[in-house]
Structure 1
Amino acid sequence: MHYQPPLHWPALLGFLAARAIAGVEKVEAGAYVRSFVLGDQQGVVRVCQARGHRLKVTVQGVPTQALAGVLARVRRVFDLDADLPRIEQQLRTDALMARLIDTRPGLRVPRGWDAFEQSMRTVLGQQISVAGAITLAGRLVAGYGQALAAPLQVASGLTHVFPVAQAIVDTDLSGLGMPRSRASTLSTLARALLHDPQLLRPERDLEAWVQRLCRLRGIGPWSAHYLALRQMGAADALPLGDVALVKALRLLEGPEAQLAQRAQAWSPWRAYAAQHLWASLS
């Protein structure tokens, strides 16, 4: 699978490794491996670097005619169609971004595998560390995810596919170890996506998209912007209330630095600026 360079593979793989949900995905030997469902077929995909400006993608469990859809999904998850030379050229007009790009040239903005999974990840990550959110996601998978077919388990070392919305929409998830309000938000969002599968469809008007999401109980500006960044692929999305982003900026520019003010210089590529700030903490 070809991509336009540059691509910072170590940072991309590190991001995925830190957020890998037990049983569903893993990073090993320089590759990202995950289970998925396509239609009524379970599958496993493995992605690693190849020679030249290419990634090697290995897919198991789905018929040949389904491969194009899987490969399109991989391109989306790995942000392979981004025009990084253009994005980095514009961000380099800001001194801080120029420094961060020199450190990690070709940094991409990874996106979610599908709308439902990414929405659940986002809610689980509200006001909690990445490690804490992934622990909760692992419990969600173990309790409500479908077991991966035995041959795929043996081949991949994975055990489950991520739950579907129907499995949790009317379930009390507070027993997983989260506040009842957050468990309720998971159910609310699952129900909304079942009612409108296009709820998280991309739109040109980012603010209108954010306002629409914020009408859902339990979804505020942070969650909506994070979903816009990870699911919609909005290049200018920026969750201003993100504690890690504020921390990263102040470590780099001092305790008085204001994220909202500084971010004005990064538009229309604030999502990529955010990814650089997050990466600077690792």
Structure 2
Amino acid sequence: MKLAYQPPYDWAAMVGFLSLRAINGLETVEAGVYRRSISLGGRQGWISVAPGAGDWLEVGVDFPDPAALPEIARRLRRMFDLEAQPQLINPKLADDPLMARLVAARPGLRVPGAWDGLELAIRAVLGQQISVVAAIRLAGKLVAHYGQPLETPHAGITHVFPTPEVLAAADLATLGMPKSRGRTLSAVAQALLDDPDLFEPKASLKEGVARLVALAGIGDWTAQYIAMRQLREPDAFASGDIGLINALAALEGEPISARQLSARAEAWRPLRAYAAQHLWTSLSRAD
């Protein structure tokens, strides 16, 4: 498939973000190509995504049911933020002098999404109060223990992500995390079984976040992160995120607090999710 987008598109930033968070056994990034296992309707397969020769992404799909292709395309458009309109986003952010610098450096930056809401929520909960590296290591254990094995031609892709039925019944604390966090993971999986639309966009950011923080163990940071990457809320913003605080402090040359970050972010409405992505990306820029 060819999935079109409005240029420019910063594939290097997108694939860099995904590479740092790639879960062993589930996904790989090699030579600028992203690959992963997928599961839909109880059937499994895998996809590959790479930049095309024009304003599109080249997608390879290996899946047993051709009727699933429209849903696969829909999920990938959301995951790779292909509906974004840089010609509208960038001028609005550039009203702020700091954002103007960041937008000029990376005009094609997108907000990475996720294949599905449960996977993203599990990633977010695993990442609470630990590093990205430690969270991904735990996620790899979870996939190896509870994910269904899958044969693919790619050595790094061996399993699909565990189903909500499996996670809801599992004692996930045995993977080496606090019992409370294991209970939260299982509770999130059960909540999805109870409400299949749990991770679908709501009428507003406020409503979406309220639904998520109603779940035990899900605070505002986690809810905002899920709203940003799964609900595709362009104004979602995790104001207490240490990475955002450090990025803004580095760019402005002085220490700041979470409260100061939140106040500063008012200038970036209604596109705070894109502002956050620019801040996070500024921490890892090598140029």
TM-score over 0.5 (shorter chain): yes
Deviation at 1:156, TM superposition (A): 6.1
CA contact (8 A) 1:44 1:156 kept: no
Secondary structure at 2:34's aligned position in 1? strand
Instruction: Find the counterpart in structure 2 of residue 255 from structure 1.
Output: 254
1:9 Cα deviation after fit? 0.7
Output the CA distance in 2 between the equivalents of 1:67 and 1:192. 27
Identity of aligned residues (%): 52
Paired residues for 1:119-158 under 5 Å: 119-148=121-150, 150=151, 153-155=152-154, 157-158=156-157
Residue deviations 1:27-52 (CA, integer Å, cap 9, x gap): 01111000001213211100001111
Partner SS, residue 24 of structure 2: coil
Partner of 1:173: 172
Tell me which residue corresponds to 1:2.
Answer: 4
1:64 is matched with: 66
Give the TM-score taking structure 2 as reference length: 0.94
What's the CA shift for 1:155?
Answer: 4.8
Q: Is the 8 A contact 1:146 1:161 kept in 2?
A: yes
The alpha-carbon deviation at position 200 of structure 1 amounts to 2.0
Q: Contact 2:26 / 2:156 at 8 angstroms: preserved in 1?
A: no
Measured after TM superposition, the shift of residue 175 of structure 1 is 1.7
In 1, Cα distance between the equivalents of 2:64 and 2:8? Answer: 31
Q: Is the 8 A contact 1:123 1:223 kept in 2?
A: yes
Counterpart position of 2:200: 201
Per the alignment, residue 210 of structure 1 pairs with: 209
- TM-score normalized by the length of structure 1: 0.96
Q: Secondary structure at the match of 2:54?
A: coil
Tell me the residue number matched to 2:237.
238
- Give SS of 1:45's match: strand
CA distance in 1, matches of 2:94, 2:13: 19
Q: Which residue does 2:270 correspond to in 1? A: 268
Give the secondary structure class of the aligned counterpart of 1:43. strand
User: Following superposition, which runs of at least 4 residues in structure 1 exceed 4 angstroms of deviation?
Assistant: none
After superposition, give the CA deviation of every residue in 1:110-147 in whole Å (9 maximum; x if it has no partner): 11111111111111111111111111100000010000
Q: How many Å apart are 1:179 and its aligned residue? A: 1.2
Equivalent-residue separation in structure 2 for 1:269 and 1:21 (angstroms): 29
**Is the contact made by 1:116 and 1:190 (CA closer than 8 Å) also made in structure 2?**
yes
Which blocks of at least 5 consecutive residues in structure 2 are unaligned?
none
Give the CA deviation at 1:154: 2.6
Residue matched to 1:35: 37
- Residue number among 87, 90, 93 corresponding to 1:91 in the alignment: 93
CA contact (8 A) 1:91 1:266 kept: yes
Deviation, 1:208, is 2.6
Q: Point out where structure 1 has 5 or more consecutive residues left out of the alignment.
A: none
What do residues 69-105 of structure 1 show as CA deviations (whole Å, max 9, x unaligned)?
Answer: 2112111100001111101110001111111112211
Per the alignment, do residues 90 and 228 of structure 1 end up closer, same or farther by CA in structure 2, a change over 3 Å counting? same
Aligned length: 279
Question: 1:230 Cα shift?
Answer: 1.0
State which drifts further: 115-124 or 154-163: 154-163
Letter in 1 for 2:127: G
Cα root mean square deviation, aligned:
1.2
